[in-house]
């Protein structure tokens, strides 16, 4: 980087991207996943590693992989990154968005013009109890922890509270699962590429048991391995490109960690993040052509409809009956299949969601296509509505 210039944060561009397949990838190490995604992103951006000013790696881990301290692992695949500043970022399931925010801020401050952001997680090699313990550490352990604590259990509690206030919405959750699996079947990088259908998702069965009542297996996102990467650029570096996907606005809101101090029937942090991002972008929700939303559990997607203002509290289920969040509806949500079908490798998820949205805007969707899309929203959440990140992406050309 020559000299130092400040750039508006709302003009930072996504210059290129990379994305591995998500799934149970027994032959892929953490290092290999990082390298694959990073090299693909640089090639797509037509940028040489020596020109990168900073590297940010998002990785949750919490003991799921023996390799901690992954910030310098991209150097193994791209030796010209050696001696560049590199940092590992973690903010639970929103780690990927946290890493992107760090890159955006570095460019906005004039400390970098090109930033490589890589999100990664290797989960499936760990035993089930270790994965459960690692994920549960993103809760308020003092009150919500314990030997049997799990995030399925935590979101089951949230669903129970929501049902107590607004009635049993199990059928609405099944509609979300069926919708996202139908789109995931069109996504060649998704963990589960199978259209399961509404009736399968609705019925409790041997193949679809209750995991934590009222949540069935089809209400829970997948434990996955995978990586995604993005090259962020200062606006002048995109001036001569035929494709420009701009980050028009971002917002980050953190709520209190204990659920006991919050009304868990409404995601207030998510609502504030959406409101801030749309305000900074000078837009309303109806200006968006699609959204990628954090469906770690189907109850989360349902409640996010209400948090973003698409429906009033308790009325999110109406949108599903109307088809409002399906392709061709008012605001299609998770045309990629979402975390529900695409998979949820924790550290990779936030970066993946931005890659998915950028590809949709570029006319290269992974999943169903939003025809003529120009504006897309992204909501990435860490913990039980604790870390809330919202981004608005825009296709400039």
| pLDDT digits 0-9 by tens, 359-378 | 999 999 999 999 999 999 99
- The pLDDT tens digits for 64-109 are 999 999 999 999 999 999 999 999 999 999 999 999 999 999 999 9
Per-chain mean pLDDT for the chain: 97
pLDDT for position 109: 95
pTM of the model: 0.97
- Per-residue pLDDT averaged across 164-173, rounded? 98
- One of 44, 59, 93, 201 is an active-site residue; which one? 93
Give the number of domains in the chain.
1
In a domain, 158, yes or no: no
Give the whole-angstrom CA distance, residue 245 versus residue 10: 11
145 located within any domain: no
Domain presence at residue 120: yes
The verdict on residue 30 lying in a domain is yes
Helix (H) or strand (E) holding 233: strand 226-233
What's the CATH number where 63 sits? 3.40.47.10
The reply to whether 4 falls in a domain is: no
User: If DSSP codes are grouped into helix, strand and coil, which group holds residue 58?
Assistant: strand
d(CA 253, CA 220): 24
Domain assignment of residue 52, yes or no:
yes
pLDDT in tens, 295-341: 999 999 999 999 999 999 999 999 999 999 999 999 999 999 999 99
Catalytic: which of 191, 344, 354, 390? 344
Residue 117 domain flag: yes
Per the domain annotation, does 113 fall within a domain? yes
Beta strands 375-382 and 210-212 are: unpaired
Instruction: Print the domain residue range for 109.
Output: 9-126+224-238
Q: Cα–Cα distances in Å, from 263 out to 161, 162, 267, 294, 315?
A: 9, 10, 8, 19, 17
Whether 296 sits among the annotated catalytic residues: the reply is no
User: Which of residues 1 and 382 earns the better pLDDT score?
Assistant: 382
Query: What pLDDT does 2 receive?
Result: 46
Does residue 344 have an active-site annotation?
Answer: yes
């Amino acid at each position: 980087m020559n000299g130092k210039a400040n750039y508006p944060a709302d003009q930072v561009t996504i210059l290129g991207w990379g994305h591995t397949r998500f799934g149970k990838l027994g032959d892929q190490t953490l290092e290999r996943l990082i390298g694959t995604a990073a090299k693909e992103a640089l090639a797509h951006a037509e940028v040489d590693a020596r020109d990168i000013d900073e590297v940010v790696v998002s990785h949750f881990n919490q003991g799921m992989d023996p390799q901690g301290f992954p910030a310098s692992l991209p150097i193994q695949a791209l030796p010209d990154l050696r001696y560049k500043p590199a940092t590992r970022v973690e903010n639970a399931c929103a780690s990927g968005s946290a890493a992107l925010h760090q890159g955006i801020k570095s460019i906005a401050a004039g400390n970098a013009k090109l930033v490589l952001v890589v999100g990664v997680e290797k989960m499936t090699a760990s035993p089930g109890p270790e994965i459960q313990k690692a994920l549960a550490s993103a809760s308020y352990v003092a009150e919500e922890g314990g030997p049997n604590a799990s995030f399925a259990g935590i979101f089951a509690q949230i669903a129970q509270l929501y049902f107590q206030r607004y009635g049993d919405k199990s059928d609405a959750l099944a509609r979300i699962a069926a919708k996202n699996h139908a789109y995931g079947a069109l996504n060649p990088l998704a963990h589960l590429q199978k259209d399961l259908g509404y009736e399968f998702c609705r019925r409790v069965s041997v193949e679809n048991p209750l995991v934590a009542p009222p949540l069935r297996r089809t209400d829970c996102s997948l434990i996955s391995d995978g990586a995604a990467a993005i090259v962020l650029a200062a606006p002048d570096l995109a001036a001569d490109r035929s494709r420009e996907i701009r980050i028009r606005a971002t917002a980050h809101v953190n709520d209190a960690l204990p659920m006991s101090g919050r009304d868990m029937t409404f995601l207030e942090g998510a609502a504030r993040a959406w409101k801030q991002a749309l305000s900074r972008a000078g837009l309303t929700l109806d200006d968006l052509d699609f959204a990628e939303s954090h469906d770690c559990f189907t109850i989360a997607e349902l409640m996010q409809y209400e948090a973003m203002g698409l429906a009033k509290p308790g009325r999110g289920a109406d949108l599903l009956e109307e088809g409002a969040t399906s392709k061709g509806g008012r605001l299609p949500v998770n045309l990629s299949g979402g975390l529900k079908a695409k998979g949820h490798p924790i550290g990779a998820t936030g970066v993946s969601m931005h890659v998915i949205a950028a590809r949709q805007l570029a006319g290269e969707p992974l999943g169903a296509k939003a025809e003529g899309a120009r504006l897309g929203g992204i909501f990435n959440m860490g913990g039980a509505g604790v870390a809330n990140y919202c981004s608005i992406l825009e296709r400039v050309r």
